[in-house]
Amino acid sequence: MKRSTFSSKFGMLAAAVGSAVGLGNIWKFPYLAGENGGGAFIIVYLLCVLFLGVPALLSELSLGYIGRSNGIGAMRNITGNNRWSIIGILGFLGSFIILGFYFVVAGWSLEFVYQSVMGSFIGQSGEVITQNFDTFRFDTWRPYLWTVVFIVLTAVVLYAGVEKGIEKWSKVLMPMLFVIVAYLCVYAIFLPNSGEGYKFYFDFDFSKINADVVIAALGQAFFSLSLGMGAMMIYGSYIEKGTNLAKTSIQIASLDTLVAVLAGLVVFPAVFSFGIDPAAGPQLVFITLPTVFAQMTGGYIFSIFFFLLLAVAALTSTISILEVQIATVAEEFKMNRKLSLVLVSVIMLVVCCMCSYSLIPVEGGNELVFFGVSLFDICDIITSYIILPLGGLLIMLFLGWFYKKEDLHYVLVVETKCSEGLFKVYYFFLRFIAPLLLLAVFLQQLGLF
Ligand code: PHE
């Protein structure tokens, strides 16, 4: 059977940008910037995207494009043996771990759309809103229900396949997402005191930069660009021959970064406008912002659109991660695509419910909290700090040191029309700069550097 491909450039770009733009941009990026000194973090982040993110993205798309299969199969097709398939295996396992917490947070976004529509935040104090969030998270069925709804939504889109599912929906959802962010950004300008937010956000105080900030920015760049997990590889394998991969990578990285920066332009003016701490951490979006919406004129509309934005962004990302699982199972085990979809969705259902449960304080200790860390957090930490950077490192080591330079040159310059100069710069980063940076981060994390 002929393998599916995206039918148009716009559709391909929408799908890839859809994968990149997700909870990482709207939930994680603002709180990381808030915790790590605002403007200083942004500068470091931009550098990470440019020097590491773009080369890694181009590498991953290229491997998929050349290998024309899921991560495991693509590496086998390229090398003729199974040695490098570890890249695909790592990504495949990683996809279950990442989705374990991702679907849960995505489910929360639906609950918050619902609560926004019901007007539950209006006029409430911060304490009530915090309590509501906990009551919801610790509830015996609501968080699970929304998680299940999100898994089903994702599965329904994927059921229709690459072109009629992923591509078609991305073409609708991504423009919608851009309209919502733009609307919220403009809206935020007119909030009283919004200037304070911009000041914080654009305060380039370089004394705030330290190793932790760099590591946070680097992990975030990988997470946000959907790297190291085979998602971009599988999308690369659906890209039509001849498409300019270098240009596509730059476009994806630019749009992804744009949305992250814009999300900050929505969040910080709002937060400062009401004198709230910008360093609230992961709860910034789910507690801090509703507290802001509660007091804000027009907060009702603002909150509906904001959480809708979060849900849409999350959906186009979960689509790409679940696709890794579906394609891998279908291709590697020669299983019917629909059967494979049902199988992985059921597995995710179990994993996600466990992650969601691990957040609940249980008398006598929660069985899914290990050494004081919940399964939910373990999944987040393992993916952001280990699997994604490790996957990225392996991909770049393979392409830079084990794949013939002439072959890569042929694919990128001759076949997909990347300029000679850009290829040279890319190849230099691919071989030296990017792997060294990643290695330094690993050593730093192990306390060796
Ligand atoms: N890039 C997505 C986000 O920012 C998350 C993601 C990671 C998607 C890895 C696919 C693979 O939310």
Q: What is the pLDDT of residue 187?
A: 87
Q: What is the pLDDT of residue 296?
A: 83
Q: What is the pLDDT of residue 384?
A: 82
CB-based burial of residue 273 (10 Å sphere; 0-12 exposed, 13-18 middle, 19+ buried)? Answer: buried
**Which tokens sit at 183?**
């609307």
Contacts of residue 386, Cβ cutoff 8 Å, sequence gap at least 6: none
Q: What is the pLDDT of residue 46?
A: 96
Q: What is the pLDDT of residue 404?
A: 97
* SS3 sequence of 377-390: HHHHHHHHHHHHHH
Q: Splitting the chain (449 residues) into consecutive groups of 10 residues, what average pLDDT does each group show?
A: 87 96 92 88 94 96 97 97 96 96 96 95 88 91 97 97 94 92 90 89 86 86 94 97 97 97 92 82 84 87 92 96 97 96 97 95 89 93 88 95 97 96 97 90 72
Ligand 1 neighbours (beta carbon < 6 A): 19-20, 22-25, 98, 223-224, 226, 229, 231, 317, 320-321
Q: What is the pLDDT of residue 448?
A: 64
Centroid of ligand 1 to alpha carbon of 10 (angstroms): 20
Quickly tell me which residue has 């374990």 as its tokens: 100
Give, using CA atoms, the residue closest to atom 12 of ligand 1.
Answer: 22
Q: What is the pLDDT of residue 204?
A: 83
* Contact present, 341 and 159 (Cβ < 8 Å): yes
Do you know the residue count of the chain? Answer: 449
Site to substitute for ligand 1 among 226, 309, 382, most atoms within 8 A of C-beta: 226
